[in-house]
Chains A and B, each alone.
Chain A
Amino acid sequence: MSQTGTLMGFVHRRRRGAELFLLVLALMVGIGAYAAVGLGVEGVVPADLVGYGGWLTALIVAAHITVRIVAPYADPVLLPLVAALNGLGLAVIRRLDLTYEANGLAQHTFARQQLTWMTLGVILFIATLVLLRDHRVLQRFTYTAGLLGILLLILPFLPLVGREINGARIWINVAGFSFQPGEVAKVLLVIAFAGYLVLHRDALALAGRRVVFIDLPRGRDLGPILAMFGVSMMILVLQNDLGSSLLFFGLFLAMLYVATERPGWLVVGGLLFGAGALAAYTFVGNVQNRFNFWLHPMDHYDDTPGSYQLVEALFGQGWGGLIGRGFGNGFPERVPFAYSDFIISTIGEELGLSAIMAVILCYGLIVERALRIALISRDGFGKLLAVGLGAIVALQVFVVVGGVTGLIPLTGLTTPFLSYGGSSLVANWVIVALLLRVSDQARRPAPRLDPVDDAGEDSESTQVVKLR
């Protein structure tokens, strides 16, 4: 496994120039969209376009230079995709800000805050790449990360710091800053799962008995899956957060399956989650409501709680049609939380189906890149890490976009990189940094193990082979 690169005589190219070129395109998307927002909503190119564009360019260039220096073999497509999505998200949030301001709403500086969060995200991205030169170091923190992750998930329940916003107790408030610890917890949990599964994959994979066509795991090995199931259900029932619950359990299941190569785990997990969801549907009113609103959105438009938000989003997207109404010509502000959970509906209304498809394809490419990194990664931990991070993006996008477009019941999750939200943005930038780190390791040529020239005077001494 570790020699694949040289054995096949194939060496990945660095492709940093390609990355730079794609980043220029991504910046054009971000800055161009920002200018278009000004033109569409106010009729003039924004006065701060140069300052804004300069700031955005500086951030992206800093990220690029960091990658060049500390991860020269990293995947060249990921960063441009992320830059484009983040830039587009900023412009769309800015567009909503302008309308909120015109309508006299108190909160209308989301874009500026988002840019601050993005700056923090990029700083953490750089820090991650610089400080973490080998992702395998993270394996040492398997249990620490797991414990910390669970702790972060519990944090919103604590008095003083915990806050309930819009019916979901997933926020903490420290010194005036709101934060969703769950966003960071998911990264920590991926690290924990990857570490745990690499160690225990043999036990989980080999022991068990065959029932009909499926290899079922041993009862005692069901422990971790049951524990994760419990955590998911806790999130669902106690925090009223269907989306995160689905995300965590789906993530764990995908990683478990990849680690053990046993579809039996999927069956067990699927059954467990089905049973849990059914129980939640029966006993938790919120879940039942969401399900009803999804099946019959038009019937609950005027109810409280009702499907007003979803129906308005559907109206907006329907009205946007193939090419959208153009920035400033729609009414995305009719959808509550259009700047965060429902940013996709704003894009659909004003930029149309074409933009929605482009965004979905960008996410698809991010996931594809993550899974490709997993395929070529040389170590099990890296593979699992990449699969987990890719699965997070895939599941989160599917759950949010599917919810907003009416494919599945609505859940409260942010759209990675697009939605307003500091915790989510920062966590996602770290996810990208981790993916780039794994990819750098995977694509880097394998260490050369050439016979050492023994002619030297210290030929007797032990040769130290530098492995990286």
Chain B
Amino acid sequence: MNKPIRVVSVFCLVLFLALLVNASYLMYVRADSLSDDPRNRRIITATFSRERGAILVGKEAIARSVPSDDKYKFQRTYSQPYKYAPITGYFSWYGQTGVESSQNSVLAGDDSRLFVTRLVDMLSNSDPKGGNVQLATNAAAQDAAWDGLEGLPGDAQGAVVALEPTTGRVLAMASTPTFDPNKLASHDFGAVADLSKELNADPREPLINRAIGTTLPPGSTFKLVTAAAAIESGNYDADSQVPGGYRFKLPQSSTTVGNYDGGNCGGRRITLTQALQVSCNVTFMSLANELGVDAMAEQAEAFGFNDTSLEDLGGQAESLYPRDLDPPQTALSGIGQSSVTATPLQMAMVAAAIANDGDVMRPYVVDEVRAANLSVLDRTDPQSISKAISSTTAEELTTMMVATVDSGTATPAQIPGVQVAGKTGTAQSTADRPPYAWFVSFAPADNPQVAVAVLVQSSDTSRSEIGGGRLGGPIAKAVMEAVINQ
């Protein structure tokens, strides 16, 4: 009977080997994908129970974990919840958004850059602590942006983005209406679920970070892109004579489109500078028509359209300049209408590129990653994405934008003693909806420190009062001042 016993032995060996191999496969190879499963509550409970790192602006921790009495040990708190919610996002039992999500591995202490800290924690048998995230945000600029949006009449929907042109640093990013991440971080999960349902159902979309998550027609602010394309084509400069007048007849169509105020832009032939100053629709429609869809699209893409560039914040919508526009649509795209859509961040990138000699810098909100003891582990290096326009084109556009602030539509952004470059926009949406007010600018014009884009999607302003300059100008001005005066 010994031979079959040996066969049975070999068979048992095979069974046990299969168990060993499968256990190794499960607990080593599959472990990561199991941990990434959103239904894996263990990971969340563990992160929830751990001392999560802080999110810092300057020296202030705008998000940190404080000891709590319940079984989760730590409670996430946000010191300035509404103001910073679009950047920090929230950290709830059900999930994370914003920097809480994109930097989760650092904050939770799982990141490989924290390896040494983790090893020390393990050896000293102390609970693991998460790393800290230092934001690029400038507190004063963020205050100005938030106060500006809060100061809008009624239940305004809007967003502000401020960039440092030479680096791409996001100095400010505010969006309204917004939400209180403290309430979503609560350990009362039932209340959190209810609130989250409520926020998701809210027609005012408080959970959306409008600065990067909402794309709308950029309106006249897009004329900067049209002007850039025109100058880059080599046929135009700031003093070139361009068509003005009352109306532009769209190609292949009998429709004509007039200027915003119904005027004639100051004559049948005006300079390009004048055209930008008064935001002449006729001029930019005819320029776009002349340049054609390809040249326009290339210029828009050089500024960052049809792409997402903000890597350390989720939820970025792609700003669009479709390449399949027909001639009438192309003409309309010259004034930021038709199917052209942009986020406030994208328009801030356009302004920042003009301010930065034509270099488009990759925007970023996370400046540094630090260990719990504040030693710097990683720093974001400014990175150029593309050369959108030549330096001379940038210079000419700057001069034109300065003229627009000095004596054009953008006068509300004037700052005494500082040269400001700006452009307004008032974008039509549908007939029954008020237009969107835009404003982009940078300052000081000769040594740019800050570029801003402001979008007011809706507010309680009467329709006739809406204008990019009137609504957005003062907010942009306040943000620029906050940065310059430091």
Contacts from A to B (Cβ < 8 Å): 254, 257-259, 261, 298, 301, 311, 314-322, 330-331, 334, 348, 352-353, 356-357, 360-361, 363-364, 367-368, 371, 374-375, 380, 383-384, 387, 390-391, 394, 397-398, 401-402, 405-407
Supply 26 A–B pairs (Cβ within 8 Å), ascending by A. A257-B8, A314-B26, A315-B34, A315-B40, A317-B26, A318-B27, A318-B31, A318-B35, A319-B42, A319-B46, A320-B27, A321-B27, A348-B23, A352-B27, A353-B24, A357-B20, A360-B23, A371-B8, A383-B1, A394-B12, A394-B15, A398-B16, A402-B22, A405-B23, A406-B22, A407-B18
Q: Are A322 and B27 in contact (CB under 8 A)?
A: yes
Contacts from B to A (Cβ < 8 Å): 1-9, 12-13, 15-16, 18-20, 22-24, 26-28, 30-35, 37, 39-43, 45-46
Q: Are B35 and A301 in contact (CB under 8 A)?
A: no
Closest to B40 in A: A315
Q: Which 9 A-B pairs have CB atoms at the shortest separation, nearest pair first? A: A318-B34, A318-B31, A353-B27, A407-B22, A258-B4, A364-B16, A398-B15, A394-B12, A315-B40
Closest to A367 in B: B12
B residues less than 8 Å from A402 (CB atoms): 18-19, 22
Q: Are B27 and A407 in contact (CB under 8 A)?
A: no
Known contacts A261-B1, A360-B16; 14 additional CB pairs below 8 A are: A254-B8, A257-B8, A301-B39, A317-B23, A318-B30, A318-B34, A319-B31, A356-B27, A368-B9, A371-B9, A374-B1, A375-B6, A394-B15, A402-B18
Closest to B18 in A: A407
B residues less than 8 Å from A360 (CB atoms): 16, 19-20, 23
Closest to A298 in B: B37
Closest to B6 in A: A375
B residues less than 8 Å from A380 (CB atoms): 1
Contact of B23 among A298, A334, A353, A364 (CB under 8 A): A353
Closest to B8 in A: A254
Cα–Cα, bound, A402→B16 (Å): 9
Cα–Cα, bound, A398→B18 (Å): 9
Contact of A374 among B5, B19, B42 (CB under 8 A): B5
A321-B27, A360-B16, A371-B12 known; A331+B45 contact, CB < 8 A = yes
Cα–Cα, bound, A384→B42 (Å): 47
Q: Are B35 and A356 in contact (CB under 8 A)?
A: no
Q: Are A383 and B5 in contact (CB under 8 A)?
A: yes
B residues less than 8 Å from A383 (CB atoms): 1, 5
A residues less than 8 Å from B43 (CB atoms): 319
Q: Are A406 and B8 in contact (CB under 8 A)?
A: no
Cα–Cα, bound, A318→B8 (Å): 32
Q: Are A363 and B26 in contact (CB under 8 A)?
A: no
Cα–Cα, bound, A447→B15 (Å): 38
A residues less than 8 Å from B22 (CB atoms): 402, 405-407
Cα–Cα, bound, A390→B6 (Å): 13
Contact of A375 among B5, B28, B35 (CB under 8 A): B5
Cα–Cα, bound, A407→B13 (Å): 16
Cα–Cα, bound, A360→B2 (Å): 25
Closest to A103 in B: B71
Closest to A391 in B: B8
Cα–Cα, bound, A387→B45 (Å): 46
Among B13, B19, B35, the one with the most A-chain Cβ atoms within 10 Å of its Cβ is B19
Closest to B34 in A: A318
B residues less than 8 Å from A398 (CB atoms): 15-16, 18-19
A315-B34, A321-B31, A406-B26 known; A261+B39 contact, CB < 8 A = no
A261-B3, A321-B31 known; A334+B26 contact, CB < 8 A = no
B residues less than 8 Å from A322 (CB atoms): 27-28
A residues less than 8 Å from B31 (CB atoms): 318-319, 321
The smallest beta-carbon distance between B297 and chain A, in angstroms, is 42
A348-B27, A405-B19 known; A261+B42 contact, CB < 8 A = no
Closest to B9 in A: A371
Closest to A394 in B: B12
Q: Are A407 and B19 in contact (CB under 8 A)?
A: yes
Q: Are B42 and A315 in contact (CB under 8 A)?
A: yes
Cα–Cα, bound, A316→B26 (Å): 10
A357-B20, A360-B19, A402-B19 known; A317+B27 contact, CB < 8 A = yes
A257-B8, A398-B15 known; A319+B26 contact, CB < 8 A = no
Closest to B31 in A: A318
The smallest beta-carbon distance between A394 and chain B, in angstroms, is 5
The smallest beta-carbon distance between A270 and chain B, in angstroms, is 12
A residues less than 8 Å from B42 (CB atoms): 315-316, 319, 330-331, 334
A residues less than 8 Å from B45 (CB atoms): 331
Cα–Cα, bound, A402→B1 (Å): 29
A residues less than 8 Å from B30 (CB atoms): 314, 318
Cα–Cα, bound, A356→B33 (Å): 20
A residues less than 8 Å from B46 (CB atoms): 319
B residues less than 8 Å from A301 (CB atoms): 39
Cα–Cα, bound, A322→B25 (Å): 11
The smallest beta-carbon distance between B7 and chain A, in angstroms, is 8
The smallest beta-carbon distance between B73 and chain A, in angstroms, is 12
The smallest beta-carbon distance between A321 and chain B, in angstroms, is 5
Q: Are A258 and B41 in contact (CB under 8 A)?
A: no
Cα–Cα, bound, A133→B203 (Å): 83
Cα–Cα, bound, A4→B5 (Å): 17
B residues less than 8 Å from A348 (CB atoms): 23, 27
Contact of A401 among B6, B19, B33 (CB under 8 A): B19
Cα–Cα, bound, A394→B39 (Å): 34
Cα–Cα, bound, A49→B12 (Å): 38
Cα–Cα, bound, A356→B3 (Å): 31
Among A318, A374, A398, A401, the one with the most B-chain Cβ atoms within 10 Å of its Cβ is A318
Q: Are A371 and B5 in contact (CB under 8 A)?
A: yes
A315-B40, A348-B27, A405-B26 known; A258+B5 contact, CB < 8 A = yes
The smallest beta-carbon distance between B35 and chain A, in angstroms, is 6
